[in-house]
Amino acid sequence: MSLTDNLEKLLAAGRDDALLRFSLGQAWLKSGEAARAAEHLRRAVEHDAEYSAAWKLLGKALVEAGDPAGAAAAWRRGIAVAEARGDIQAAKEMKVFLRRLEKGAST
């Protein structure tokens, strides 16, 4: 049984929280299912809007799913959240991702 199967079982059993949704998003992204990953990561930030790692991964999933505008919005929100929480490393990483995305869009 795969990690995604186990995590989906937990969700089906009634557990639904930011960490489970983040884990599902991460697992689906690793298995190449970016749109499915983005769904779970959106739910993760609905559960906890201050979850900077979920914002960062949501942006990545959205890029891979072909939604660069959505990715940029997620990273902008994530940067604000990370800076407010003092999570400087996550903010830096998302700024780099956003800059790369914007550079790619302008070429």
Residue 105 has pLDDT above 80, yes or no: no
pLDDT at 97: 97
CA atoms within 13 A on the CB side of 50: 5
- Domain count of the fold of the chain: 1
pLDDT at 104: 86
Its domain, for residue 82, covers 3-106
Identify the sign of the CA torsion 39, 80, 89, 68: positive
- Could you give the CA distance from residue 29 to residue 33 in angstroms, rounded to a whole number? 5
Mean pLDDT of 14-30: 96
pTM of the model: 0.92
Mean pLDDT of 58-65: 98
Summary mean pLDDT of the chain: 95
pLDDT at 106: 57
pLDDT at 107: 44
Q: What is the CATH number of the domain that holds 62?
A: 1.25.40.10
- pLDDT, tens digit (0-9, with 9 covering 90-100), for 78-91: 999 999 999 999 99
